[in-house]
């Protein structure tokens, strides 16, 4: 039997972000590539930011808040830093992984949108493209060109776009018939009240199952999805100067103008009148 390999650090990079940029940008303080040995294991009670691991060979596992998930070649794991977590190589077939740590504004929200509130594992169809992305990251962190903070933020945006596209392509992310029926009906009639029992009847599944499906595919409840559709419709109508705010509130299914204004401000950050005024286009006759 051959001698078991030792863990080898193939690449390792560190970067200290500018404190002013770190308040506004996503930044990558660490990254690297590891060919793990059979005893490779990392366990933490917490850490700043989020760790992403991309397995290119062998296998291993991640543990998030007591739950263990297996990870194989061509899979990317996202570990939340704010809860106890860890990762380990399979002793019989230790993995080789590309990895990075990312931190910055709203990174936990981004994680929830892409892989779920607790992190998890995502299959990657275009592994060669993702390896190419890591090589670009390593080159940036190796050379640290002028504007490195901005370049790392740009690279992180590219990675998020890759992961978003990978998530959309997964078979289990295709909308089931129940969700498609309900979203089509609510989009066609956003001004209706849509009580839970009507949503259930249109979807033809139980209310609990419907909530689980919406959480899986949209990371929100059916009611939250409907509210966003109403707000988007309201924005379209606010672009028409002949439509009054009161009429728009009624068309979009809000109880009254006060309820409309409160919900619109909560989602958009401005009242309907402020939003309309900010987007108004004025023409001067010549």
Q: Residue 76 in contact with residue 23, Cβ under 8 Å? A: no
Asked which of 157, 172, 187 is the last residue of a domain, the reply is 172
Residues 139 and 225 in one domain: no
**Six-digit token string for 283:** 């023409």
Task: State phi, psi for 67 to the nearest 5 degrees.
Answer: -100, 130
pLDDT, tens digit, 9 for 90 and up, residues 176-207? 888 888 988 998 888 889 999 999 999 999 99
Residues 118 and 230 in one domain: no
Average pLDDT over residues 5-17: 94
Residues 81 and 195 in one domain: no
Residues 43 and 124 in one domain: yes
Residues 17 and 156 in one domain: yes
Which helix or strand (DSSP H or E) is residue 101 part of?
strand 96-103
Assigned domain for 253 exists: yes
Confidence of residue 169 (pLDDT cuts 50, 70, 90): low
If one counts the domains in the chain, the total is 2
Other beta carbons within 10 angstroms of residue 139's beta carbon come to: 12
For residue 213, the enclosing domain spans 177-279
Residue 3: the pLDDT is: 59
Distance of alpha carbon 72 from alpha carbon 89, whole angstroms: 10
Residues 24 and 164 in one domain: yes
Residues 114 and 60 in one domain: yes
Assigned domain for 233 exists: yes
Assigned domain for 285 exists: no
pLDDT, tens digit, 9 for 90 and up, residues 195-239? 999 999 999 999 999 998 888 778 789 999 999 899 989 988 988
For position 245, which CATH number holds? 1.10.10.60
């Amino acid at each position: 039997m051959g001698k078991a390999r030792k863990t080898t650090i193939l690449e390792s990079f560190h970067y200290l972000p500018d404190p002013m940029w770190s308040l506004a940008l996503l930044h990558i303080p660490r990254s690297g590539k590891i060919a793990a040995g059979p005893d490779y294991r990392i366990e933490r009670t917490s850490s700043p930011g989020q760790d992403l691991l991309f397995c290119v060979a062998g296998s291993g596992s991640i543990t998030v808040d007591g739950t263990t998930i297996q990870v194989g070649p061509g899979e990317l794991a996202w570990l939340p830093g704010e809860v106890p977590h860890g990762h380990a190589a399979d002793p019989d077939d230790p993995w080789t992984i590309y990895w990075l740590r990312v931190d910055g504004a709203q990174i936990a929200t981004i994680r929830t949108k892409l892989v779920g509130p607790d992190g998890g594992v995502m299959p990657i169809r275009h592994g060669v493209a993702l390896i190419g992305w890591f090589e670009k990251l390593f080159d940036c962190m190796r050379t640290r060109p002028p504007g490195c903070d901005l370049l790392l933020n740009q690279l992180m945006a590219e990675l998020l776009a890759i992961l978003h596209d990978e998530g959309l392509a997964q078979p289990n992310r295709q909308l089931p018939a129940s969700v498609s029926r309900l979203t089509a009906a609510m989009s066609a009639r956003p001004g209706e009240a849509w009580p839970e029992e009507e949503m259930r009847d249109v979807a033809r599944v139980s209310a609990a199952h419907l909530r689980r499906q919406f959480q899986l595919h949209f990371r929100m409840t059916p009611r939250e999805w409907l509210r966003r559709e109403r707000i988007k419709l309201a924005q379209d109508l606010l672009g028409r100067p002949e439509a009054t705010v009161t009429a728009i509130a009624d068309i979009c299914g809000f109880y009254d103008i006060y309820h409309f204004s409160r919900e619109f401000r909560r989602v958009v950050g401005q009242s309907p009148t402020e939003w309309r005024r900010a987007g108004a286009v004025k023409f001067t006759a010549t």
